[in-house]
Amino acid sequence: METSDRPARLAVGVLGAGRVGSVLGAALMLAGHRVVAASGVSDASARRAADRLGLALSRPDEVIARSDLVLLTVPDDVLPGLVSGLAATGADLRGKLLVHASGAYGLGVLDPAAEAGALPLALHPVMTFTGRSDDLTRLNGCSFGVTAPDLLRPVAEALVIEMGGEPVWIADRDRPLYHAALAGAANHMVTLVAESQELLAKIGVEHPGRMLGPLLSAALDNVLRLGISGLTGPVVRGDAGTVRKHVDALILAAPEAADAYVALARLTADRALAAGLLKPEAAERLLDALGGNIWT
């Protein structure tokens, strides 16, 4: 059935029509809901609202007034103040689904609105959004970290499935650790790969990405299939001399990266030792090369 043939079930508003808000709004539109208003503070938000949602930007109070479901898709640090402000201004939140997409926050950040009658949901897409045209298709099969009151669990699950995602239930108390795990993997990976590209370019490698691509793809496949047992390289081999050479080279070429390398090598050695992949005597040599005790 075409989207236009589906009955519009919810009027959706977007407070923060950025990369995430515009994508989630567009996904709900494809599911047959009706996005009726959006707000934003930047020219980029205005473009995304127009291109993806077919809307001009409105004031936040207008978004609230016209919507049955409101997406709060603003930066994490802005979210508490936004919710408190909505409650303090006396906006009529009674019976409205208030959905934030923050990974770090659970339901507590929505308490001021819930006390005013809003129905709180936390739906966090486990995906990176770059503002490109393929962001919407990336939701297909994407996990969502979902936290909801028991009575609203069916609603939360239905919304995620309608957007093409897979709901994964996260306890409210576990949201910070859940988000730390995701950010540590995805965000820090980007930093590490970008750093590696710069180091390779510095020594004259013309296409660092082409060199790294097959290696990184294989490493990612290994860890997703095998966990820590997929680890390869000098640390798990106990090659302390090689690790020391790495540290010395980084101190000269990129001192800011040397500390990160040492910290990650220590963590890698610790995990390998615990998994029985690294012998204690090899671990001792490694910690000498790294200048510290991996058990502290």
Q: Average of pLDDT values for 212-231?
A: 97
Q: In Å, how far are 20, 78, 145, 148, 230 from 124, measured between CA atoms?
A: 10, 16, 5, 12, 29
pLDDT digits (tens, 9 = 90+) for 61-87: 999 999 999 999 999 999 999 999 999
Helices (DSSP H) in the chain: which residue ranges? 19-30, 43-48, 60-66, 79-88, 111-115, 153-162, 175-202, 208-226, 234-237, 240-253, 255-274, 280-290
CB atoms within 10 A of CB 88: 11
pLDDT of 295 above 90 = no
CATH number belonging to the domain at 3-170, selected among 3.40.50.300, 3.50.50.100, 3.40.50.720, 3.40.190.10: 3.40.50.720
pLDDT digits (tens, 9 = 90+) for 102-115: 999 999 999 999 99
Task: Quickly state the pLDDT bin for 132 (edges 50, 70, 90).
Answer: confident
pLDDT of 218 above 60 = yes
Mean pLDDT of the chain: 93
Task: Tell me what pLDDT residue 131 has.
Answer: 83
Looking at the structure, give the CATH architecture of the domain made up of residues 178-290. Answer: Orthogonal Bundle (1.10)
Half-sphere exposure of 286 (CA within 13 A, CB side): 28
Task: Quickly state the pLDDT bin for 133 (edges 50, 70, 90).
Answer: confident
Q: Average of pLDDT values for 148-159?
A: 96
Half-sphere exposure of 62 (CA within 13 A, CB side): 10
Give start-end residues of each CATH 3.40.50.720 domain in the chain: 3-170
Helix (H, G, I), strand (E, B) or coil at 3: helix
Candidates 17, 155, 34, 15; CA nearest to 89 is 15
Q: 150-171 as b/e, with b when 16 or more CB fall inside 10 Å?
A: eebeebbbebbeebbbebeebe
Give start-end residues of each CATH 1.10.1040 domain in the chain: 178-290
CB 287 within 8 A of CB 269: yes
pLDDT of 2 above 50 = no
Percent of the chain topping pLDDT 90: 92
Task: Tell me what pLDDT residue 291 has.
Answer: 83
* Encoded amino acid at 153, one letter: R
Sequence length of the chain is: 296
CB 146 within 8 A of CB 167: yes
Q: What is the largest CA-CA distance in the chain?
A: 68
